[in-house]
Every structure is written in C-alpha cells, then in structure tokens.
Amino acid sequence: QKEVEQNSGPLSVPEGAIASLNCTYSDRGSQSFFWYRQYSGKSPELIMFIYSNGDKEDGRFTAQLNKASQYVSLLIRDSQPSDSATYLCASGGNAGNNRKLIWGLGTSLAVNP
Amino acid sequence: GAVVSQHPSRVICKSGTSVKIECRSLDFQATTMFWYRQFPKQSLMLMATSNEGSKATYEQGVEKDKFLINHASLTLSTLTVTSAHPEDSSFYICSARDQIAGGGETQYFGPGTRLLVL
C-alpha cells in the first residue's frame, strides 16, 4: 500500500514564526511531490512542488526533499494568520499508480496573532 | 493559467433526484480529470479518474452506476449523482491534470460543489 503520512496537528505557531510541516512517503518510485493548501470550506490550492533533493524556495515558502529518507517538508517563514489552513502533502509521478497523486491526510496549521 | 471551474457551486435537491456537476478546464486541455468527495473535517477521497473519450476508472467502493462520469471533450467532465440520498450530501471537488515546469504534471482543483440532499 503506497502511503503518504502527515501529522494531523493542529500545529500552532505565533505570528512571525517559522511553521514546519512534515511528510513521509513509502513509494520510492515517486518522482514528484506537492504541497497544497486548503482553507476551511474551500478546495485545495497548489502552493509548491519539488522534484530534486534539496531545497526549493518561493517567497515565504521553502519545500525540502530528501529522497534517501523519503521525507518532504514545507517551511513557512514569517507566518501570518492568513496561513492558517490545512496543508496537504501529495506524491506523484509514478506510472505504476496510473499517474494519480497519493495524498496525505493533511496537517492543520493555526497561526496565532 | 491552469484554471478549473465547477458548476453549480451549491445545490440542494430532494432525495431520489439526480444531480449533474460540471467541471471545466478554462485555459488548458485536460485529457484526465479527477473527482473527489470530502466530508466535513475529513480528508479528500478520490472517487474516480475521468479520461477523455473513454470510460472512467472508479476507486474501490465507489458505485459506478450511482456516480456517472462523462468526459466528452478535452475541457469538460461531468459527474451525475443518480437517485441522490441524504448520505450523498458532501463537498464534491474536481481536478484536472496539467503539466508543470520541469516536465512533470500535477492537479489543479475546481472550487467544489456543495451538495445537500434533503
């Protein structure tokens, strides 16, 4: 069973702090990894993707991938109350999965003013 | 780019009626779309994969005769909930697969349809 695991949280951080969200995956054949943000009552929105080991930065967001440890993380710098949402990790790019994304259950983040 | 729309955004119907939900890729062609369902405070659940010009592939436990999927064009997939019952009340979300930088692909989501069956 191919799985993506996330801590459900809630993760609570003060405004201005760094929020660190973590994800592990079981399928070594996965080639791409995604972070989606989902506000309550809304649909998911893609915020980051990463293919290669190391860090990828986009504004206040940094995605980190370690394929040897099968670990993906998302760092949010200078967290804002508007970052409060559920963050979904997904893996993809494995033709054996019919190219579906494998989803984690999400981590709830609360940024406190 | 990569905008996906859904219609209607919200629907209330009586038990036993059928409801059709449309999913459109507005600025790209999507040979593959996905239909998800999400109950309150629960995770996304993939219902089926919709492929243009062919039959949909349903996930285990999803009744294909109850949830009819048609993907007749490269920009439109429809989900019809037949003979809806109160337990079908949920948030239905479609996504469309598109390419991203680096040669990969991912899914872009529509805004979702909230279905309430009375």
**Among A41, A45, A105, whose Cβ lies nearest the Cβ of B43?**
A105
Contact status, residue A92 vs residue A41, Cβ threshold 8 Å: no
Give pLDDT tens digits for A25-40: 998 888 899 999 999 9
For residue B105, list chain A residues with Cβ-Cβ distance below 8 A. Answer: 32, 92-93, 99
- Percentage of chain B beyond pLDDT 90 is 81
Residue B105 has pLDDT above 80, yes or no: yes
Give pLDDT tens digits for B27-51: 999 989 999 999 988 889 999 999 9
Residue A97 has pLDDT above 60, yes or no: no
A71 touches chain B (CB under 8 A): no
Helix (H, G, I), strand (E, B) or coil at B39: coil
Helix (H, G, I), strand (E, B) or coil at B19: strand
B108 touches chain A (CB under 8 A): yes
Rounded CA separation A45/B108 (Å): 7
Give pLDDT tens digits for A76-90: 999 999 999 999 999
**Among A43, A93, A99, whose Cβ lies nearest the Cβ of B109?**
A43
Residue A106 has pLDDT above 60, yes or no: yes
Q: Which residues pair with B22 in a beta bridge?
A: B7, B78
In this prediction, residue A16 carries a pLDDT of 98
Tokens 């039959």 — which residue?
Answer: B55
Comparing alpha-carbon positions, the chain A residue that sits nearest to B102 is A51
Give pLDDT tens digits for B60-95: 999 999 999 999 899 999 999 999 999 999 999 999
For residue A42, list chain B residues with Cβ-Cβ distance below 8 A. Answer: 111-112
3-state DSSP helix/strand/coil % of chain B, to nearest 5: 5, 55, 45
